[in-house]
Every structure is written in structure tokens, then in C-alpha cells.
Amino acid sequence: MSSQVRENLQKFFVLGVSYRKTALDVRGQFSLTQMDQEALLRDAKDQGVEGLIVLSTCNRTEIYAHSSDMDLVINLFLNYCKGSEEDFRCNGYTIQGSECIKHIYEVCSGIDSQIVGDFQIVGQVKNAYQLSENYQLINSFLNRLFSFVFKASKKIKNETELSRGAASVSHAAVQYIKDKVDDLESTNYLLFGTGDIGKDTCSNLVKHMANRSLTLVNRSVEKAEALANKFDINYCSMTHLTEEVEKAEVIIVATGAPHSTLMKEHFENTKKCKLVLDLSVPRNVDLAVDSLENVTVVSVDELSKHTSETMHQRLNCVPQAEEIIDDSIREFYAWLEVTFLSPVIMALKEDLNKIRDKELDYHRSKMSPEELKRVEKITSNLMNKIARACINHLKGHHQTQSTPMETLNMIFHEPETK
């Protein structure tokens, strides 16, 4: 890899927190709402950041940046999240260059997901990419990199078993319920929140339980109604949340809010035991609920540990997925090399054409139109062969030298004489 490409790669970095190093309660402090993400992107654009993408999910909050000023990006992140600089130093991370390239591939393929092979992440990354594109923060580097990443992710999904079988967070929640609840058919279920995770959970509940004793509650009653009609189940407005909490034995919270949405007061009339699954980050079930005698609260981190043999099958597919990733990374690096050489190659062709045109002009008056046509064809073919030979030489030179334009100057430009 040439020194110029290495320098360009060092401008690409990721910073953030994830499930690998950071506990759920701390991770929630670094979560960014949609409004926070947009404000951060606007600020980054105003401060001249070249390229930046913000990703905030239940497993991680990460910022991918192509910029010479890492400190600026870190400060932007800390300005818009609730976590402190000290918390970030203790729990966060920064990854640069080639390691960062590998990291983003592993994130988008599901290899680096809390539940390996959870393919929901690539959709979340695509949404984050689109949001950055709306704010004109996708430069040519990020554009081409994520094009390669998304293509590799699709290939992994289609050609490996990494994402086969049900093992998403929503499925883990359903599996947990099946393992912990004795009488699935007579149990009353409440699903609070009908966003992406809520919809997925609802689908899994209906599919695996064959139980219609499920009620949906959502801030937007219209969204709850639409999803309830799709699966022929019940729904109600937020004003009846306390009543529905009282009736349900199993409550799944997938509201995805930046604050608690299910409070201790919602359980004021509770006498029977309840199982509460919180799929949100930060936690949307108030910590005070944990202290209630008849209520068991299970977090998203605990659910992620509760997986079936599907996970073992997926882990066996990781080497195959990594081969696809390695091939794609090599293609991306080749693109970087060619991109750096493009202006040099254009200059080379211009120099060759100038030489050819000068010679043809000198002999033009001495040739008939037929002779000139033949000579133009011969010299064109000759210039193309010389160009290919020089381009191959430049590519080889580029691997070991820092200034390929100097090579071009040595070949085609005579030194000035005094």
C-alpha cells in the first residue's frame, strides 16, 4: 500500500461505545436521538468536517468520520450526548485506518452484533448513511467505501448462513418468554412501542405463540391500529396504559425513547407476577420498577445472552463471511490506489498526445490525406501502447515512492538549462 493511501486511510476513524465494552446504563448515556443526530450533522457541516455518519442503535453509538481533526469530532459527539468526557475515556474507543475499515465491514455484516448475524444493523447503517447524505456529509471516500461495504453485506447474507434462522433481539425476547412462561396460550401480552423493533417483536410473537391475547400500545394510536389490523390483534391508546399493564402478565417495552416510558406508577394496582422485557437503549423501564416485589425486569443485554443453537450455527459461518470481507477490502484498496493515480494518468495521456500532435503538425503538409489518416491511426496505437507501459510502471513506482508525478516529470520533461 502506498504512503498516500495510508495517509488517506488514517483520516478515516470511528469513535463511540458498544455492548462489547460498555454496560447498558452507561451506553444509554451516549445514545443519540434523531434530533441529536441531525443537530450534530449540521454542526459538523458548519465546522468543515469532510465526511461523517452517526449510528445510534441498542448495541452501539458510533460516529464514522473522514476528517483530519479527530478532536473536533470527539467534541461534537460529547456535545450532543449525555455522557461525560471521563465516561468516554473509560468506556469508549477510537479506531483508525485499516482497522476501522475492517470494523465497519464486521458491523454491517452482523459479525460484530451482540447477536451474531443480526441483519437489522445494515438497514440502520443505511438509514444513517442517507441522513448524512441529506446533510452533504458523504464525501467520495465514504461514498465508495460504503458502496463496497453494503455490497459485501448483501453477498454475506445471500451466500452464507450467517443470518439464517431467527436470532434477532426480538426473537431472543420471544424465546425467553417461551422458556420462562409456563402457559403461553392463556397468557396476556402487552407490547408497548411499535417502531422497527416493536414491529419485529409483534411479528415474532404472533408467529411463534399462535396467541391473539396481545395488545399494542403506542404514542401514535394510528400506528398501533395499523399494526394491530395487520395481525388481527388488539390495540389501545396511551391513556389506557396503566389498565393494560394491570391485565398483562408479560410486558414488552420497545418504545426507543431517550427516557423512561414505563414507570412505577403504571404498576400501582399490580398484584400478580409480571415479566417485563425492556428492548430499548437507554432503558425505557424506570429503574424503580425493578424494586417491585412481583415484577421481573429483563434488559436487552440479558436477552442477548439467551440464544439458541442458531447462534452456534452462525458462528461456524463467520470464517466464510470474513473471506468475503477480505476480498471486498482488497477491491476497495485497489480503488484507492487507482483514484490517487487518476490525475497522474490523465497528465501522462495529455503529455503523450501533445508529443504526437506536435509531430503530426510538423509532417502534416508533407502527406496526402490518405497518408495522414494512416499515420494518425499508427501513432494513436503507438501512444496507447506507450501509455499502458508507463501506467504499469507508475503503478509499480507508486507502491514504493511518495511522488509519482516526479517520475512523470523525469520521463517527459527535460530539466531546465541555465
Does residue 192 sit in the same domain as residue 155? no
Q: Which runs of consecutive H residues, i.e. helices, occur in 69-168?
A: 70-80, 85-91, 97-109, 120-134, 140-159
- Cα–Cα nearest to 133, from 52, 39, 14: 52
- Average of per-residue pLDDT across 68-78: 96
Residues classed as catalytic: 58
Task: Give me the torsion for CA of 143, 148, 151, 152, rounded to 10°.
Answer: -140
Q: Provide the pLDDT for residue 303.
A: 81
pLDDT tens sequence across 26-48 = 999 999 999 999 999 999 999 99
Q: Over 80: is that where the pLDDT of 396 sits?
A: no
282: preceding bond cis by omega (within 30 degrees): yes
Strand partners, 250: 189, 275
Counting beta carbons within 10 angstroms of the beta carbon of residue 133, is it exposed (0 to 12), middle (13 to 18) or buried (19 or more)? middle
Question: Is 371 in contact with 317 (CB distance < 8 Å)?
Answer: no
Q: Do the domain assignments include residue 138?
A: yes
Q: Provide the pLDDT for residue 397.
A: 56
Using the 3D structure, point to which of 289, 306, 323 is the last residue of a domain.
306
* Exposure b/e, 25-44, CB count within 10 A at least 16 = b: ebbbbbbbeeebbbebbebb
Does residue 16 sit in the same domain as residue 97? yes
Does residue 18 sit in the same domain as residue 149? yes
Q: Provide the pLDDT for residue 35.
A: 94
pLDDT band at 224 (very low <50, low <70, confident <90, very high): very high
Does residue 36 sit in the same domain as residue 60? yes
Q: Note the Cα 379 to chain centre separation in Å.
A: 50
Q: Do the domain assignments include residue 31?
A: yes
Range of the domain at 288: 169-306
Does residue 215 sit in the same domain as residue 283? yes
Does residue 298 sit in the same domain as residue 371? no
Does residue 133 sit in the same domain as residue 18? yes
Amino acid at 125: V
- Average of per-residue pLDDT across 207-234: 86
Q: Do the domain assignments include residue 319?
A: yes
- Average of per-residue pLDDT across 132-150: 96
In angstroms, the Cα distances linking 393 to 76, 330, 386, 398 are 44, 21, 11, 8
Q: Do the domain assignments include residue 405?
A: yes
pLDDT band at 182 (very low <50, low <70, confident <90, very high): confident
Does residue 233 sit in the same domain as residue 369? no
pLDDT tens sequence across 310-347 = 677 778 889 999 999 999 999 999 888 777 666 666 77
| Least confidently predicted of 78-92, 279-293, 333-347, 351-365 | 333-347
Strand partners, 236: 217
Q: Do the domain assignments include residue 417?
A: no
Q: Over 60: is that where the pLDDT of 211 sits?
A: no
Alpha-carbon distance of 52 to 66, in angstroms, equals 6
Does residue 262 sit in the same domain as residue 357? no
Grid cell 426480538 is found at: 170
Please tell me what DSSP assigns to residue 415. Answer: P
Q: Which three cell numbers stand for residue 321?
A: 463471511
Question: What CATH number has the domain bearing residue 220?
Answer: 3.40.50.720
196 or 339, which is more confident: 196
Please tell me what DSSP assigns to residue 167. Answer: -
- Average of per-residue pLDDT across 110-126: 86
Q: Which three cell numbers stand for residue 316?
A: 461456524
Question: Is 106 in contact with 100 (CB distance < 8 Å)?
Answer: no
Does residue 22 sit in the same domain as residue 123? yes
Strand partners, 192: 217, 253
Alpha-carbon distance of 230 to 234, in angstroms, equals 11
Question: Is 218 in contact with 193 (CB distance < 8 Å)?
Answer: yes
- Cα–Cα nearest to 275, from 204, 54, 285: 285
Q: Do the domain assignments include residue 418?
A: no
Question: What CATH number has the domain bearing residue 40?
Answer: 3.30.460.30
Counting beta carbons within 10 angstroms of the beta carbon of residue 153, is it exposed (0 to 12), middle (13 to 18) or buried (19 or more)? buried
Alpha-carbon distance of 201 to 361, in angstroms, equals 75
**Most confident segment among 37-51, 115-129, 215-229:** 37-51
Q: Do the domain assignments include residue 184?
A: yes
pTM: 0.67
Does residue 161 sit in the same domain as residue 254? no
- Cα–Cα nearest to 171, from 129, 119, 214: 119
Does residue 287 sit in the same domain as residue 402? no
Q: Do the domain assignments include residue 299?
A: yes
How many domains are contained in the chain? 3
In angstroms, the Cα distances linking 37 to 31, 79, 385 are 10, 11, 52
